[in-house]
Amino acid sequence: MPNWANLMLTKQGKVLQAKAIAGSTLTITKMKLGSGIIPDGVSPEDLTDLIQPKQALGLTAISVNGGLAKIQSIVTNAELSEGYYIRECGVFANDPDVGEIMYAIMTDTSPDFLPSASSSVVISEEFSINVVTENMANITAIIDPEGIVTVANARKIAEDKVAEHNEAPDAHPNDFNLKGLTIGKDNVIATKKGDFLTLLAGKGINLLSDIKNKIITVVGKSKNAWNPNEEIIAGDIRYTEDGNGPSWAYLLCKTAGTTGTVEPILAANAVVGQEINDGSVVWTVQKNSNALSFAGKEADLFALLNSPDFKGTPTAPTAAKTVNNTQIATTAFVHLLAGAANNGGIVDSLLAQNGYVKFANGLILQWGTSLSPIIFSISFSNTMYTILQMPQSASASAFRAEVWALERKDQDSCAFFTGSGNYSRHWIAVGF
């Protein structure tokens, strides 16, 4: 049993809703059904399309009652190649500034299964959604008879108009019997007496014009599909047949006129703003905001999956220093191995007669040749270092015991007893 959650406006839908409240027309274009499940952490209002769309439904009727607009369509498996669970439903509308958007979405936690056309079950059912907006005077819908237009839909239109006429105070002044109006095989029965000819000649003629406005033809194209020899005004939009040009493109009328006899062909590399001549009409190619277009520049925008040639300064995640696999090694990863995080890399040095090397783990190695006291090139962090020395001179007097005795020791320097003379000495100190 279906369990649809409340219809939720998307972020794009909220923007369009605000425009409708301000006076713009809210034009509902279609509905979509899908089998996708919204991932954890993803908000439905952030979506621009269904997670896994399966069917696009043309609209068959729209009715307004108070602050509620009822949008109707037909769900059928007549041409469905693969069955699916109906888990998500999107309502699409035309934004006057950006084109077609997903206006609202709802999901079903207990979905029904729609079998494929090859199954033994044939399904064709009415599907309706209620939409609330503060400005119902500005809501309309693009009726697409390529979906399914049933006698019941036409009958509903007729019944509404007959009821409106019958409630008029001047209806049926001659009190003739109105036997009924027949559409298809169903009869629309009038509840009051009146003149059938007067009904058609007077207010009832609206019934025919309403049907004409809502249904172009039972077997034909939707109002937004291109048609030959059609009067077009500036601002009208038309969609070309599937396979004619990029999937993201539609035509916007720049110069009013009459279309030609042959549908204009859009090249696969068509670009936004390109002008197309069609009879006396001039179209401009526009982009559906929900589609991606790269105008034939994919090679400049993307690298190949096989042997990619990156340009600029590409980045990648930095692995831990213990990782040993085929993932990309960033410069930061190299520093991890050769620097502080590797517990041993050289971080500072002075290669001179009196110099030093400092390692990442804190170890300091210093060396030099000097008289006592010995001044270190850099300070140790404590006095726990070890120093080795030997006199620079090879004379016998240089090896007297008193010159080897350590007199003092601190972090910046150390001194030895000099005895009867201060001798230059080679030394090396190790500490941290």
Question: Which range, of 79-83, 130-134, 181-185, averages the lowest pLDDT?
Answer: 181-185
pLDDT-based confidence at residue 39 (cuts at 50, 70, 90): very high
pLDDT digits (tens, 9 = 90+) for 211-234: 444 443 333 445 578 889 999 999
- In this structure, the dihedral spanned by the alpha carbons of residues 212, 215, 221 and 222, taken in order and rounded to 10 degrees, is 110
Angle of helix 151-166 relative to helix 205-214, nearest 10 degrees?
A: 150
Read off the DSSP letter of residue 329.
-
Model pTM above 0.75 = no
pLDDT digits (tens, 9 = 90+) for 239-264: 877 567 787 788 999 999 999 999 88
> What was the pLDDT predicted at 394?
61
Q: Is the pLDDT of residue 189 over 50?
A: no
pLDDT digits (tens, 9 = 90+) for 376-388: 999 999 989 999 9
Mean pLDDT over each residue of the chain, to the nearest integer: 77
Cα–Cα distance for residue pair 183/166, rounded to 1 Å: 18
Please give the residue that has the higher pLDDT: either 164 or 151. 164
Mean pLDDT in residue range 340-352: 74
> What was the pLDDT predicted at 259?
93
For the purposes of burial, counting CB atoms within 10 Å of the CB of 196, is it exposed (0-12), middle (13-18) or buried (19 or more)?
A: middle
> What was the pLDDT predicted at 174?
55
Q: Is the pLDDT of residue 274 over 80?
A: yes
> What was the pLDDT predicted at 366?
96
